[in-house]
Amino acid sequence: MIVSFVLNGRAREVDVLPSETFLEVLRDRLGIFDVKEGCDEGVCGACTVLFDGRPASSCLVLAPAVRGRRITTVRGLARGAGLHPLQEAFVKHGAVQCGFCTPGMLLTALAFLERHPAATRAEIRTALEGNLCRCTGYAKIVDAVEAYARGDTNGG
C-alpha cells in the first residue's frame, strides 16, 4: 500500500507493508539512518521522531498510520549546511559519546523547549527521562540542553 507523509519538509510517497513499523520504513526503505533501533518496545528513545511536532517512538508506529503526518528526524534540524544550535551545544559540552541516543535526545529536548522555553534544569531532566543513554553521559547532555535553553551564544 502507498502511504503519503511529509518527511523533513518534503512530501514523500512510499510503498509499504501494513506490518512494517515506521522505523523499518525510515531505515530500510528510505535509508534514514539517523533514526536508531534500540529496544523495539518504545522504552529507549533511540528511534524518536517528531510526529506532528511531538516526540514519538517510530518503532511503535505502524507504517500506514503516518498517512498525512508531518515527520521530523534529526537531519531535518540542520540549518543550511550547518548544525542546529542545540547540536552545536552538544558538541561544545561533550554531550555525545557513542552517539546512539543523540538523535532522540535532540528531538525530545527541542520539542520540550518549544513548549517550555523557560524550563529549569530539573524540568529538563524530567523531560529527557524517557531517553536512555547507555554511556550514561546524562550530566553533559543536560548541560548542553540547559545552555541552549538559556540562549548562550555559540552553543553555550
Partner 1 sequence: MHPFEYEAPATLHDALALLAEHRDEAKVLAGGQSLVPLLNYRLAKPRVVVDINDLPFAAIRVDDGHVSLGALVRHHHLEESADVASHCPVLKEAAALIGNVRVRALGTVGGSLAHADPAAELPLVMVALDARLDVRSARGQRTLAAREFFTGYLSTALAPDEVIVDVRVPVIGDAGHALEEFARRAGDFALVAALAVVSLDARGRVATARLGVGGVGPTPVRLPAAEDALVGHEPSDERLTRVAAVVADALDPQADAFASAAYRRHLARVLIRRALTRAVARALEVA
Q: Summarize as ranges the residues that interact with partner 1 (CB under 8 A).
A: 1, 17-21, 40-43, 45, 48, 51, 54-57, 59-62, 64-65, 67, 108, 111-112, 127, 129-130
Q: Which 3 state secondary structure label does DSSP give 150?
A: helix
Cell numbers found for residue 138? 546524562
Nearer to partner 1, 50 or 144 (CB): 50
Nearer to partner 1, 7 or 47 (CB): 47
In the complex, least distance from residue 111 CB atom to partner 1, rounded to whole angstroms = 8
Instruction: Yes or no: say if 47 and 39 are a contact pair by the CB < 8 Å rule.
Output: no
Instruction: For residues 106 and 14, give the distance between their C-alpha atoms in angstroms, rounded to a whole number.
Output: 26
Nearer to partner 1, 17 or 98 (CB): 17
Instruction: For residues 136 and 49, give the distance between their C-alpha atoms in angstroms, rounded to a whole number.
Output: 22
In the complex, least distance from residue 46 CB atom to partner 1, rounded to whole angstroms = 11
Instruction: Yes or no: say if 26 and 32 are a contact pair by the CB < 8 Å rule.
Output: yes
Nearer to partner 1, 67 or 75 (CB): 67
Nearest CA to 97 out of 153, 63, 138 is that of 138
Q: Which amino acid is at 38?
A: G
In the complex, least distance from residue 83 CB atom to partner 1, rounded to whole angstroms = 24
In the complex, least distance from residue 82 CB atom to partner 1, rounded to whole angstroms = 28
